[in-house]
Structure 1
Amino acid sequence: MPSPMPSAAHTAAPPQLALPQHAPLVAATRDGLVESVHYGSGIALAADGSVAATAGDPLAPFYPRSALKPLQAVAMVRAGLELPADLLALAAASHSGAAAHREGALRILELHALAPTDLENSTDLPYGTAEREEWLRNGGSATRITQNCSGKHAAMAATCAINGWPVQGYLDPSHPLQQLVAHTVNDLTGEEPPAVSTDGCGTPLFALTLRGMARAFGRIACAAASASLDDDGGLGSGSAEAAVGLAMQQHPDMVAGEGRDVTELMRLLPGAVAKDGFEGVQLVGLADGSSVAVKISDGGDRARMPATVRLLDALGVDTEVLAGIATAPVLGGGHQVGQLLATDFLNTEFPATDRSTPDNEAL
């Protein structure tokens, strides 16, 4: 007779599981008392790539989740993908599922003689609350087009069609597309992932460090600052990094959606390239090549932006314009009785050991 499954209440983490040494980044107060604390890690890189500030354990490998999408988009442009700027921004998006997003994903497919049945992402309802409610009121159900990664998947299928690669099976890690993505991620981050998994939408997912991801976003934003797109939205001059960065800057509404803090940040901070990721991840690259990266340990979405703005402040960015997304009210009886605030977490001393590599070699 098979042994019974252990109760979840009595299941502990394996003793060999390495736990990142996160620090308290964001606190929620209620009438002067700290009610909740979000731990996490972060890093700010200066324009020359040097470390300006850190918090927690910025060299601990983590999964960037959807923050990888701009890097994946760079890989596709390197492989010959050409799209109008709004659709290229959608290829790097975790969109809310508004009509413009759904129609954009369909346009990418139609431009390359593809159909929604060619997509291999998971099905889901629209990510945005208002968009989801409207979709349900109109009798909608979970589909691949409404899932927040549909722009990326449409672009992946299109890249396969352009190169004569099989569209079916484009998510397989051994597929030429995913091999190119892996190479591009290594190039942009300067890191070899110590682990690979599968993201929620089905794409290969690489473990990286906050430093590596910050480096990649700094490169994308800096490239965008020195290039331009032509009248048709194509790459007029510059690199694939420039094309993706410019597209995201020009169409921040396609990268996320109305009411989303990532869209708002790019509107308020010209020259910035920003992308969030599930489980409390936030990346921002700036025009001079500086950048910040944040990972909230408990995956708390509300803590991403306060910590991010605090790191931007450490880079000398005028963050007054970001005041509206740098905090959030804590309510009691419908009235504000507290606030969500970043702690004084900045550390100018950088860790001496890089745990992203299997041999733990020193920096």
Structure 2
Amino acid sequence: MPFPALTETAAAPQTGTLPRHVPLAAQTRGGLVESIHYGSLIAVSGEAAGTRTLLAAGDPSAPFYPRSALKPLQAVAMVRAGLDLPADLLALAAASHSGAAAHRDGAARILQLHGLSVEALENSTDLPYGASEREAWLRGGGTATRLAQNCSGKHAAMAATCVINGWPVAGYLDPSHPVQRLVAETVVELTGEEPSTVSTDGCGTPLFALTLRGMARAFGRLAAAELDPAAASAGNAEAAVAHAMRSHPEMVAGEGRDVTELMRRVPGLLAKDGFEGVQLVGLPDGRALAVKISDGGDRARMPVTIRALEALDVGTGPLADLAAGTVLGGGHPVGLLLAADFLHSTSPAPETL
């Protein structure tokens, strides 16, 4: 797949080219709406039922960057290329981990299993992503490293995939490298879309501009794959990645992280977040949800996701504490952050994709 040249411009985006996002969440204080979060979302049915739009809001066909929500798709590509890891380490390959000892040690194990050292990693350096993990790391004298950075599991897996296939490890982030070309082909296959443009993610990997519709389609495929015994027994990569993430949600994010809690509390649910307000959820029957909060803020992501899951008749009782945020004034509750009634006027009729 050819990669478009990356060109950046300092010109402001034209109003006519901006996505047509709608209000998805609002924060109140003292009975007054204080802040509004705009965005878009879509939920689609599984392929077995004929992929259709089940609910939508905003502009789900506008291209966006899925950021770390791409990691499960990248992991599928690596499994197809021969990556064979224990389930906990495969989950880490699809993770935006918090940087706990188990995460750092897991990334190091992936490297060691393939005769590699930490020097093989080419991701950016950072402190642990999780707040408590970062504080503990700093108290121990830790500094920003590639192993502590939240994408180190994925990068260790990419380096390992290179060893397995006899590809050069150095330069594995280059879009022309075989591992990145394989990832690009897999993303196109799973989403059913050609990226509208390609940029670079924060950790250094190629980043594809796709649509919420395409990403939902891909997550539906992953979420349903594990339920097909024939596919799973044949070594189906989608099934392997989905099984690993569901079996080890603590490796996909970390303790206290909402994505880990989603998978722990709702059996069969497959979830992955991404920077800039992105959330993907797949259900065992192949239905899937994709959410993008337009301002890139994180606080509205979970209330909107849970409201959409409710509309899909998913039992969200165990997620009640994640469905709203409390606004404090003087240390006391004075308002709430809640999902808006975005389904009332913005849901289109069912549509075949």
Tell me which interval the TM-score lies in, with the shorter structure as reference length.
over 0.9
| Stretches of structure 2 lacking an aligned partner (at least 5 in a row) | 1-9
Query: Which residue of the other structure, out of 293, 307, 316, is the alignment partner of 1:296?
Result: 293
Does structure 1 residue 325 correspond to structure 2 residue 322? yes
Question: Letter of the aligned partner of 2:319 in structure 1?
Answer: L
Shift of 1:225: 2.4
Describe the SS at the equivalent of 1:26.
strand
Opposite residue 106 of structure 1, the aligned amino acid is: A
Question: Whole-Å Cα distance in 2 between the matches of residues 330 and 98 of structure 1?
Answer: 29
Deviation at 1:17, TM superposition (A): 7.2
Deviation at 1:348, TM superposition (A): 2.6
Q: What SS class does the counterpart of residue 225 from structure 1 fall into? A: coil
**Paired residue type of 1:123:** T
Matches within 5 A, 1:191-206: 191-206=193-208
Q: How far apart, in 2, do the equivalents of 1:286 and 1:238 lie? A: 21
Which residue of 2 is the match for residue 44 of structure 1?
Answer: 43
> Which residue matches 2:178?
176
Alignment of 1:121-200 (within 5 A): 121-200=123-202
**1:240 maps onto 2:242 in alignment:** no
Q: 1:289 to 1:103 in 2, by over 3 A?
A: same
- Where does residue 19 of structure 1 map in the other structure? 18
1:206-355 equivalences under 5 Å are 206-227=208-229, 236-346=233-343, 347-349=346-348
CA distance in 2, matches of 1:29, 1:307: 15
d(CA) in 2 for partners of 1:228 and 1:27?
45
Contact 1:173 1:179 in 2 (8 A): yes
Look up the SS of the partner of 1:324 in the other structure: helix
User: Percent identical across equivalent pairs?
Assistant: 72
Corresponding position of 1:357: none
Rounded to whole Å, the distance in 2 between the matches of 1:36 and 1:30 is 9
Cα distance in structure 2, aligned partners of 1:169 and 1:179: 13
Alignment check: 8 A CA contact 1:46 1:315 kept: no
List, as ranges, runs of 4+ consecutive aligned residues in structure 1 with deviation greater than 2 Å: 14-17, 225-229, 235-238
2:300 and 2:120 map into 1 onto residues whose CA distance is 36
Q: Is the 8 A contact 1:228 1:246 kept in 2?
A: no
Q: Distance in 1 between matches of 2:82 and 2:245?
A: 18
Tell me if the contact between 1:124 and 1:142 (Cα under 8 Å) persists in the aligned partners: yes
The Cα shift of 1:227 comes to 4.1
Structure 1, gaps ≥5 residues long: 1-10, 230-234, 353-362
2:24–2:40: 8 Å Cα contact kept in structure 1?
yes
Q: Secondary structure at the match of 1:316?
A: coil
Name the structure 2 match of 1:30: 29
Q: Distance in 2 between matches of 1:310 and 1:217?
A: 19
Distance 1:14 1:39, change over 3 A: closer
Q: What letter corresponds to residue 113 of structure 2 in structure 1?
A: L
Equivalent residue letter for 2:251: M
Separation (CA, whole Å) in 2 of partners of 1:223 and 1:322: 25
Deviation at 1:313, TM superposition (A): 1.4
> Shift of residue 46 of structure 1?
2.1
Secondary structure class of the residue paired with 1:216: helix
Distance 1:202 1:348 in 2: 36
How many positions carry a matched residue from both structures? 339
Measured after TM superposition, the shift of residue 315 of structure 1 is 1.3
Asked if the contact 2:95–2:150 (Cα under 8 Å) also holds between the matched residues in 1, the reply is yes
Aligned to 1:110, the other structure's residue is in SS state: helix
TM-score, with length taken from structure 2? 0.93
Compute the TM-score of the two structures, normalised by the length of structure 1.
Answer: 0.90
How many angstroms apart in 2 are the aligned matches of 1:184 and 1:174? 15
- 1:78 matched to 2:77: no
Which residue identity is paired with 1:215? Answer: R
Please point out which of 98, 101, 104 is paired with 1:99.
101
Paired with 1:15 and 1:351, the residues of 2 have a C-alpha distance of: 31
Query: Which AA in structure 2 matches 1:26?
Result: A
Preserved CA contact (<8 Å) 1:88 1:244: yes
Please give the root-mean-square deviation of Cα atoms over the aligned residues, in Å.
1.8
Deviation, structure 1 residue 327: 1.2
Q: SS of the counterpart of 2:341?
A: coil
Query: How far is 1:289 from its partner?
Result: 0.1
**SS of equivalent residue, structure 2 residue 89:** helix
When residues 100 and 348 of structure 1 are mapped into structure 2, their CA distance, relative to the original with a 3 A threshold, is: same
CA separation of 1:87/1:236 partners in 2, compared to 1, >3 Å: closer, same or farther? farther
Q: Corresponding residue for 1:63? A: 65
Contact 1:228 1:242 in 2 (8 A): no
